[in-house]
Structure 1
């Protein structure tokens, strides 16, 4: 059910393997956007593994 809301996706629960940009993060809300040149939630959705998760959830 968390897949319907990217803000509350628990990366460890969903066993995401390719989490290089979000290493050590359990929740997208805690993303340090300045470190990853991410300025908006849309940019987060563009990350390949997040997009796949988003597509699958919807």
Structure 2
């Protein structure tokens, strides 16, 4: 492979990795954090007994 082809391939792989991270991994982490915060808020406000649910 030439140097230009190698550079283009590395650039494509980096774009794919960051795209996967941005549009797949990050939303899952955000959803997990949101659920955790909601459970903490519900426990603090005594909307439900969180320890009974577990």
TM-score for both structures, normalised by structure 2: 0.25
More helix by share: 2
- Higher relative CO (Cα under 8 Å, sequence separation at least 6) belongs to 1
TM-score for both structures, normalised by structure 1: 0.23
